[in-house]
Amino acid sequence: MLVWFLPLFLIFLLIGVPVFFAMLAAPGIMLYLNGQERDIALMYRNIFNGIDNGVLLAIPFFMLAGELMNRGGITERLVSFSQAIIGSVRGGLAQVNILSSMLFAGMSGSAVADTSALGSMLIPAMEKEGYTRRFAAAITAASSVIGPIIPPSGIMIIYAYVMEVSVAALFAGGIIPGALVGIGLMIVTRLMANHYDYPPAQRVLLDDVSIGAGENLAARIIARLMLATVLYPAVVKVLASEGDRDWATFGIFFAIAFAVSEVFFQIQRRLVSDTFRTIAKRAVLPLLTPVIILGGILGGIATPTEASALAVAYAALLGLLVLRTLKMSELSNVLIKSAITSAVVLLLVGAAMAFKTVVSLSYAAENLAQWILTLTSDPLMLLLLINILLFIVGMFLDAGPAIIILGPILAPIFINLGIHPVHFAMIMSVNLTVGLATPPMGLVLFVASSVSGVKVEAISKAILPFLAVEVFVIFLITYFPIISLGIPTWLGFVKDADLFGPILRAFM
């Protein structure tokens, strides 16, 4: 009888009960009717136990860092930088929207923050340029799902917490899938722009941009140091011998890499306008945020929680003291908004952990696993079926709770079939993230509707071509493991993984 909590939960969702209350009421009612009052106390205790974990502290810190960046005028700088790069192509402002989402993803890791911050700025600008308001809202919602895929990612932190997988490995695994989603959206946007004759945008909107002397100097030094860091391994490979591993040799090789980066920037100086260079310099300090986060985590210097706290400190320092675009009087509103958003996410995590308790008591996980394996023993067909299941779940349930409930059920099945844990984590995370923009219950659709004033139904129709691209990328991630496992393997987080999968191996 206890297993009937699942249909009851779905009924609650369909009649509009908030997810948090539905996840607690449905199993609570069935436990009471089943005479298991003791287990009701256990279930509700797990609400607190589910969020009483240091790993989850990274989520409110990342949200606070994103809000500090947004209030500090960082969003405007990223949009200007994106427009300076690709704004002049046909459909340019739509392309700017996508590229801005990719850049913003490296700071907030939140699709809702992306939709709210970029939508309030770009949707009116796109309408002014001649785009329909529903198209502008649709591309904003579609591109916002890149936020939780490109690290840092809140849902990947939740997955790592539930399934005990390395956060660094998941962050590394999300880089290429996130980039593929962005590139796919850009291609479709270009095709639609040609078909519907969307207007090109000017390459640089702001001709009166300026930069302070101190920020200018800092941006020049940081840009050269970052490029030198990228070039350093190549210099070592060309010039170093096996015995060259001391600090003096490191200094010499890094100086060579720095000199090469200086030559590059001097050449670039002659090829681009002063306005372009000013806009690019204004984006350097904000773009250092993902470098701090990912460099700290992937380099093994900081845990995700420590890296997120560093991101908050850097964002506050940047807004209050360096750029002076954030006032002390605004901090209270920033903290309140971040606290409310974080509370919503963490309450859902706690409710999902309580829900998971009843899933275990009802043996629903074991029964579902056995049923899935009776359908087919072919891993490729099972992956197709699980993609369909996750896509449907993502339409109705937020990514975090879905991962907590379904992750422990589905992951062991596919790991036993030879799917790498990080690969399955990417399949599940990207699927459920795309669900955020999928009708009828996609959360970012409602945020985009609120920002744009367009009805959810209209946005749902306009977003379909972009969803088709994102579904195609999901299947690429599913059947070509190298997309998810390539960078984690290169960085040493994944060992002895099958990078090619059965499809690529068939052609080798």
Kindly write down the DSSP assignment for every residue of 239-281, as one continuous string.
H--TT--SHHHHHHHHHHHHHHHHHHHHHHHHHS-HHHHHHHH
What is the reported pLDDT for 25? 85
The pLDDT tens digits of the residues spanning 421-466 come to: 999 999 999 999 998 888 877 888 888 888 888 888 899 898 999 9
Q: At what angle do helices 247-271 and 213-239 cross, to 10 degrees?
A: 120
Express each pLDDT in 96-105 by its tens digit: 888 888 888 8
Considering the domain architecture, whether residues 108 and 170 belong to the same structural domain is answered as yes
Report the number of distinct structural domains present in the chain.
2
C-alpha to C-alpha distance for 150 and 448, rounded to whole angstroms: 20
70 and 338 Cβ atoms separated by less than 8 Å? no
pLDDT tens profile 256-293: 889 999 999 888 888 887 888 888 888 888 888 888 88
* For residues 307-329, average pLDDT: 87
Segment 339-367 shows an average pLDDT of 79
Please indicate, yes or no, if residue 7 is contained in any of the structural domains. no
Do residues 211 and 278 lie in contact, with contact meaning Cβ atoms separated by under 8 Å? yes
Spell out the alpha helix ranges (H) of 299-362: 304-317, 331-361
Among residues 222, 251, 272, the one where a domain terminates is 272
**pLDDT for the residue numbered 243:** 52
Q: Is residue 12's pLDDT more than 90? A: no
* Same-domain pairing of 477 and 451: yes
Residues 393 and 474 in one domain: yes
- Beta-ladder partners of 200: 90
Structure tokens at 177: 């899938």
Whether 33 and 362 have beta carbons less than 8 Å apart is answered as: no
The mean per-residue pLDDT over the stretch 88-116 comes to 80
**pLDDT at residue 186 greater than cutoff 80:** yes
For residue 358, being part of any structural domain is answered with: yes
The mean pLDDT of the chain is: 83
Taking alpha carbons only, the member of 412, 227, 215, 400 closest to residue 317 is 215
| Within-domain flag for 27 | no
On whether both 216 and 278 belong to a single domain, the answer is: no
Q: Is the pLDDT of residue 204 over 70?
A: no
Please check whether residue 341 lies inside any domain of the structure. yes
From 231, 252, 272, the end of a domain falls on 272
Token pair in block for residue 120: 């309030």
Phi, psi angles (nearest 5°) of residue 90: -65, 140
Q: Do 258 and 288 belong to one domain?
A: no
- CA dist 108 and 86 (Å) reads 23
Q: What percent of the chain has pLDDT over 70?
A: 93
What percent of the chain is predicted at pLDDT more than 90?
Answer: 13
Q: How far apart are CA 285 and CA 259, in angstroms?
A: 21
pLDDT at 1 over 60: no
**501, part of any domain:** yes
* Strand, coil or helix: 90: strand
Q: Is residue 367 situated within a structural domain?
A: yes
Is 138 within 8 Å of 447 (Cβ atoms)? no
Round to whole Å and give the CA distance between 216 and 210.
Answer: 10
Strands (E), 140-270: none
State the Cα–Cα distance between residues 10 and 169, nearest whole angstrom. Answer: 34
Residues composing the chain: 508
pTM: 0.85
Residues 336 and 412 in one domain: yes
* Cα–Cα dist 148/144, whole Å: 8
* Buried b / exposed e along 338-367 (16+ C-beta atoms within 10 A): beebbeebbbbbbbbbbbbbbbebbebbee
* Model confidence at 242: pLDDT above 60: no
Assess if residue 25 is contained within a domain: no
Pair (281, 407) in one structural domain:
yes
Q: How far apart are CA 166 and CA 156, in angstroms?
A: 10
**What pLDDT, on a 0 to 100 scale, did the predictor assign at position 476?**
93
State the residue range of the domain holding 70: 36-204+273-508
Same domain, yes or no: 234 and 314: no
User: Highest mean pLDDT range out of 87-96, 105-114, 139-148?
Assistant: 139-148
Mean pLDDT of 347-372: 77
**What φ, ψ does residue 200 adopt, rounded to 5°?**
-75, 155
Whether residues 123 and 171 fall in one domain: yes
| Residue 31 covered by a domain | no
End position of a domain, from candidates 272, 295, 311: 272
